[in-house]
Amino acid sequence: MLRDNPGPVRTVGAHDGLTAKLVQQAGFDAVWSSSFEISASHGLPDASLVTMSQYLAASEAMDLSVDIPVIADCDTGFGGPLNAAYTVQRYERAGIAAICIEDKLFPKINSFADTSQDLLPTEEFVLKIKAGKEAQIDPDFLLIARTEALIAGMEVSEALDRASAYVAAGADAVLVHSKSKRPDEVLDFASRWESEVPLVAVPTTYHVVDEDTLYNAGFRVVIYANHGLRAAVRGVQETLGELRRAGRAQAVQERIAPMHEVFALQGMPAQYREGR
C-alpha cells in the first residue's frame, strides 16, 4: 500500500460501507475505519465504549464495499499485548490492509477531548507492537504505531524517542498525532526523523497545511480522519431544520441526493434505478 506511490496515500475516515463507498467514489486512495466515526454512529463518545467486535464488523463492511485498502483505527489495541495480538489476527483474517494502535492507556478518550491524556510507558507499548507483529501471518499486512506524545503535551523529542522504540519493535509506519492549530511540531518531528519507516499525518486541527508540504517533509500517508462525518452532521442538521420549518418535502428536494444515486451506491441493479 505504501510502495511506489508518487505522492501521499490520501485517506479519508468512514464508519460503514456507504461512507467507505463515498470515499472511493471521491477518488481517494484508502479508507480510514475511524473509531471516532464508528463511535459517533452508535451515538456514543469515542472513549473505548464500542467493542473490538463492533469495530471489526464495521471495518469488514467497509472492506467488502470498496476496492481500495482499509486502514483500521484500533485505538489502544483493545487491551494488553495479548489483546493486540488477537486484534492483528482478527483484522488480518478479515482482509483489512492495516491497523493502527496508539500508546495511550486503556480505556482511552478521543485525542481532542478537553481532558488529560495518559500514555502507556514506552516499554509496555513496545510489548504490544511485538506481540502484534509476532501474531501476523500476511507479510503485506501493516501495523502502524501511533504516538500521542504531542497530544499529551510532551516535547517533540519524547515523541521521537517513543516512535524510534516502536520502529525497533517492528512497527511498519509511525503516526505522530498533534492537536496544534499549526503544522510546526509535526514538521519539526519529520525533520528530525532518521528512520526509513514512513510517517503518517492526520491534519485535523492543523488544517492549513497542504499534502505536498507534508509529503515533502516525509509523510507518506495523510488521513482526513473525520471530515465525511462532520460534513454529514452539518448537512443533515441544515436539511432537517429546513424541512421542519417548511413543513413539506419539496423545500429540501434540491438539497438531497436523488434515489437513483443512492441505489447506485447500494449496488442496486441498473434496471431498478429509475425511481427518484
Residue 115 and residue 109 in contact, taking contact as beta carbons nearer than 8 Å: yes
Task: Note the pLDDT of residue 271.
Answer: 78
Task: Work out whether the CA dihedral 124, 125, 129, 131 comes out positive or negative.
Answer: positive
Please indicate, yes or no, if residue 99 is contained in any of the structural domains: yes
For residue 130, is it within any domain?
Answer: yes
Q: Which helix (H) or strand (E) holds 262?
A: helix 259-266
The reply to whether 205 falls in a domain is yes
pLDDT at 270: 83
CATH of the domain at 194: 3.20.20.60
Q: b/e map of 105-142 (b: 16 or more CB within 10 Å)?
A: beebbbbeeeeebebbebeebbbbbbbbbebbeeeebb
Mark whether 131 and 237 lie in a shared domain: no
192 and 261 housed in the same domain: no
| Per-residue pLDDT at 276 | 47
Burial of 193 (0-12, 13-18, 19+ CB in 10 A): buried
30: Cβ contacts below 8 Å, ≥ 6 apart? 1, 9, 10, 11, 68, 69, 70, 71, 97, 221
2 inside domain: no
Cell for 25?
467514489
- Give the total number of structural domains in the chain: 2
| Same-domain status, 237 and 183 | no
Catalytic residue among 29, 46, 63, 73: 46
Q: Is residue 104 included in any domain, yes or no?
A: yes
Whose grid coordinates read 514506552? Answer: 122
238 inside domain: yes
Same domain? For 129 and 246 the reply is no
Asked if 184 is an active-site residue, the reply is no
Helix, strand counts (H, E) of the chain: 10, 8
Cβ burial, residue 195 (10 Å; 0-12/13-18/19+): middle
Last residue of a domain, one of 188, 203, 225: 225
Note the pTM of the prediction, 2 decimals: 0.95
Co-location of 151 and 244 in the same domain: no
Same domain (yes/no): 145, 191: yes
Amino acid 4: pLDDT: 65
**Same domain membership, residue 244 and residue 196:** no
Nearest to 10 by CA among 75, 100, 71, 85: 71
Residues 171 and 241 in one domain: no
Q: Does one domain contain both 153 and 255?
A: no
Tens digit of pLDDT at every position of the chain (276 positions): 666 677 899 999 999 999 999 999 999 999 999 999 999 999 999 999 999 999 999 999 999 999 999 999 999 999 999 999 999 999 999 999 999 999 999 999 999 998 889 999 999 999 999 999 999 999 999 999 999 999 999 999 999 999 999 999 999 999 999 999 999 999 999 999 999 999 999 999 999 999 999 999 999 999 999 999 999 999 999 999 999 999 999 999 999 999 989 999 998 888 777 654
Q: Are residues 134 and 189 in the same domain?
A: yes
Let me know if residue 1 belongs to a domain. Answer: no
3-state secondary structure of 108: coil
- Residue 3 in domain: no
Task: Give the residue carrying C-alpha cell 504516538.
Answer: 147
- Write out the residue range of the structural domain in which residue 86 sits: 9-225
Clarify whether residues 111 and 237 are in a common domain: no
Asked whether residue 150 falls in the same domain as residue 248, the answer is no
